[in-house]
Amino acid sequence: MPDNTVIKKSSIKKSRRWSVAIRLIVALLLIAFAIFPVLWMISASFDNSNSLATQSLIPANAGIANYKRLFNKDPNFSFGEIKYWQWLLNSIKVSGISTILSLSITTMAAFAFSRLRFKGRVSILKSILLIQAFPNLLSLVATFALVSNFGNIVSAIGLNTHAGLIMVYMGGSMGMNIWLMKGYLDTIPRAIDESGMLDGASPFEIFWHLLLPLLRPILFVVSILSFIGTYGDFLLARVLLNDSSKYTLMVGLQIFTAGQFDKKWGVFAAGALIGAVPIMLIYFFLQDQIVGGLTAGSVKG
């Protein structure tokens, strides 16, 4: 019996070791899978050959020539007029404004759907969810036609304007965000509203002074997701903008890979790495808020 017990304990220890080893191997493979594209982009940005055919993880002719070309500092490089900083600022401007406006309207709409009772409330919510089920690509032609026609009436929100692009981004992001915000609002006890009503507060005062402070976690999550979604969008911006000075970053970077025989992958990689800095900073400084917003709704109440 003692011998069998020892054998069982040793077999258990071996199985645990194998389990830990397998988990470590899987974790290392997943980490390598996630980090490799980033390392490859960094390598490509410092590879002066500008060719994927000869690209290696450690380039033999490493240098900062691609960054000089990106900022028009290389006299031997000619790729048209590059306005990288303008493109980056345009992306931050469009994403920031559309996020603020969309968040404001989304929060008030979610409050109305969650706390108020009115005719057609359920039908409107179902319609919003149904519309979100269709890919945005299906509405591309209709969106172009609408913005073009609006521009004929009010040129400030027509084609080739940041205002028109912001309006489209707002409409596209509010549907799902309303459902996220409403779901979070539904977890907040209605006793808070009732206490405010007993004190004579109006619905807006209840929303502004009592509920809005409790919505901070989900506000951070929705705003970050909206900003990142619009910041990284290429298709809508490419269709609605045709002036190089008004390009967003993703549209501007596409110039370097659009040529059939003259693709500048190194310059593209350099621009993509610098363009990723704002998103990295957002995640670095607001990572606690993101985790809190994603988990708080499941444990509230």
pLDDT tens string 226-266: 899 899 899 899 999 988 889 999 998 888 877 655 678 88
Assess whether 284 and 197 both reside in one domain.
Answer: yes
Assess whether 232 and 285 both reside in one domain.
Answer: yes
pLDDT level of residue 122 (50, 70, 90 thresholds): confident
Is residue 1 classed exposed, middle or buried when 0-12, 13-18 and 19+ CB atoms within 10 A define those classes? exposed
Q: Which residue has the tokens 């500048």?
A: 264
pLDDT digits (tens, 9 = 90+) for 196-223: 888 888 888 888 888 888 888 888 888 8
Decide if pLDDT at 300 tops 50. no
Give the residue-averaged pLDDT of 5-20.
73
77 lies in some domain: no
Query: What pLDDT, on a 0 to 100 scale, did the predictor assign at position 230?
Result: 92
Amino acid at 264: K
Is residue 282 classed exposed, middle or buried when 0-12, 13-18 and 19+ CB atoms within 10 A define those classes? middle
What's the predicted TM-score (pTM) here? 0.81
Chain-centre distance for alpha carbon 156 = 26
CA distances from 52 to 159, 250, 271 (A): 36, 20, 16
Decide if pLDDT at 31 tops 80. yes
pLDDT digits (tens, 9 = 90+) for 45-73: 888 776 666 677 777 777 888 888 888 76
75 lies in some domain: no
Structure-token pair, residue 267: 């310059």
Domain region containing 290: 84-299
In the chain the first and final C-alpha atoms are separated, in Å, by 53
Assess whether 54 and 121 both reside in one domain.
Answer: no
